[in-house]
Chain A
Amino acid sequence: MPPVSPSQFAPAIPDASRSKKLQLLGILSGFAAGAWLGAAEAPTKLVSIGISPMVISLIMVIGVFLARWSLPALILGTSSVRADVRRAPHLIIWALLAGCLWAVANTLTIFAIRDIGLSIAFPLWNSNSLLGILWGFLFFNELRQAGWRRWTGVLGGALVMCAGAALLAVASSTAAPAAHSLRGAWAALGAGILWGTMYIPYRKAYLTGMNPLSFVTFFTFGELGMMATLAITYLGLAPLWRELTSARDVLFWLMLGGFVWVIGDVFQQYAAKYVGISRGIPLSIRISCGLLWARWFGELHGRGVRPTRKSLEAPS
């Protein structure tokens, strides 16, 4: 029997440089997530041309489903997903729950965009980062050992975002469609709460050892199942089919939005994994992207330009 050295019994020394690298990777992932997730929201503005929010959300979710089954498969293959399922089948419930939360939140954002416009809705639903900080602190002991500098950074950043959101809402209130503005604000806030809470299952799954790409893969089932149920319940099968066929001109853009969202979400999940939800989620805030899109659609100039089917079909 080979001699056993004392070092074999010593606790593993944490590799500080590796930990730092992973933290940096988490921070960069957070920023990348903000850019991609913000870009993915732009096609939801198509609600202005009269497509049902349920149909828009369903098509986006189908795009997400297709992307998630192709992207994780391209990066890792499917063997790691199968291994994760065999090792810990109960973890799938967290992914399904997160997917259901996402689908309802996404549908609410489309109602919000229709009623109050992107420029106000975007900052409102990005309040999810504040909730992320709260849940991270309450449920996962995040920031408990943090010094005053980190607390100042996290809370200061969050407050600056809220102040910016409030200013933005005041500044662009004249550009927002007047009817149903309260309903739109509730929808945006509701989406923020759902998305902020969605990070609980995210974090829970990673703490128990699930691979982010496996999580993403099962997330899609929750998302598609919830969205299909909502669309069929609220619209009925035949009217849903009619709406889908009448929206065929914009199917590509909506599905592309779903595809882009997947890339952003993979970055976001690595941010949640490596720097936690209280710091990773505020990093992936996408107010700036929302403002860019609102500007693109003319909301901030009070013009409220609406995309038309013709303009969408024209080559850019």
Chain B
Amino acid sequence: MNATEPDPNTRGRWASILSDIHFWVPLAVLMGGLLLLRFIR
């Protein structure tokens, strides 16, 4: 495999994270928390 090509395993891992609800739920809550902080500050 060419050294400049992205490792398919790495790509697969990231794809599995980005399609995982366990990633998106905390991210959405984090965004909500940042908005709340902006509001109460």
> Which residues of A line the B interface, CB within 8 A?
89-90, 93, 97-98, 100-101, 104-105, 107-108, 111, 135, 139, 183, 186-187, 190, 193-194, 197-198, 200-201, 204, 230, 234
Say whether B33 contacts A193, CB under 8 Å.
yes
Give A104 to B33 CA distance when docked, in angstroms.
7
* Contact (Cβ within 8 A) B26 A200: yes
**Are A186's CB and B33's CB within 8 A?**
no
Verify B34–A104 contact, CB threshold 8 A: yes
Q: SS class of chain B's interface: helix, strand, loop or mixed?
A: helix
Contact between B22 and A104, CB atoms less than 8 A apart: no
The 5 closest A-B pairs by CB, nearest first: A90-B13, A104-B33, A197-B29, A190-B36, A194-B33
Docked pose: A105 CA to B25 CA in angstroms: 16
Interface residue tally on B, bucketed by range = 10 to 19
- B4 adjacent to chain A (CB < 8 Å): no
CB distance from A83 to the nearest CB of B (A): 17
Assess whether A186 is in contact with B36, with CB atoms less than 8 Å apart.
yes
Interface of B toward A, CB cutoff 8 Å? 10, 13-14, 17, 21-23, 25-27, 29-30, 32-34, 36-37, 40-41
The reply to whether B17 and A186 form a contact with Cβ atoms under 8 Å apart is no
CA distance A286 to B3 in the complex (A): 51
CB-based nearest A residue for B13: A90
What's the Cα separation between A226 and B22 when bound, in Å? 20
Pick from B14, B17, B27, B33: contact of A190, CB under 8 Å: B33
Task: Please tell me which one of the listed residues A97, A190, A234 contacts residue B26 in the complex, with CB atoms under 8 A apart.
Answer: A97
Name which of A98, A105, A111, A190 has the most chain B CB atoms within 10 A of its CB: A190
Contact across chains for B36 and A105 when beta carbons are under 8 A apart: no
Distance of A186 Cα from B37 Cα, bound (Å): 10
How far is A129 from B22 in the complex, measured between Cα atoms in Å? Answer: 18
